[in-house]
Amino acid sequence: MLLNNILKEKHLILASGSPRRQHFLHELGLDFEIQLKEVEEIFPKELKETQITDFLAKLKASPFKNNLKENDILITADTIVWLENKAIGKPKNAEDAKRILTNLSGKTHKVMSSICITSLKKQVITNDTTLVKFKTLSQEEIIYYIDKYQPFDKAGSYGIQEWIGYIGIEKIEGSFFNVMGLPTHKLHQELLTF
């Protein structure tokens, strides 16, 4: 049975301002409403890798907990880039984006996303990891990309679906859509069984 048939009595809420995540839900054929609530995205320092994204995806659901109705299903998500035992989030500005992309240049990093699905009765968290290898990027390429694409809303300062992905990514192991910010296959699977 198709997912949109299973969910037709449900009210799906996506708590994300990300145009990419909104596009994915639309492409999955789902009817949903966007609701945004501010959350300070701070995690305990001892957390590593998907523990961080799991924690933040769950944290993003917390302001909604008391307002959910019987047929509501809330979706929250978080993505980080993990390089050399450190989490890399969104850049603060162009200088920070340049520093991040220079660090990613010529190396393999992990992109980790977590999805938290919440209703009145239960909460499920799932995550996915993709390995991404960048070629050695020139400073000229990095500066051109930052100036033209302004990747300030993206973990790791890049969008795989943009120019930098076309010219810079040599290899990927795992879900392409996960690198864009949402492992759609995992979301689909979890919603089918939720």
Pairing of strands 11-14, 72-83: parallel
Q: Are the CB atoms for 52 and 86 separated by under 8 Å?
A: no
147 is catalytic: no
Catalytic-labelled residue, pool 31, 54, 72, 78? 78
17 to 14, 35, 144, 152, 168: CA distances (angstroms): 9, 8, 26, 13, 27
The residues near 138 (Cβ < 8 Å, ≥ 6 apart) are none
Q: How far apart are CA 130 and CA 186, in angstroms?
A: 13
Beta strands in the chain (DSSP E): 11-14, 32-34, 72-83, 86-88, 108-118, 123-134, 169-173
Residues marked active site are found at 78
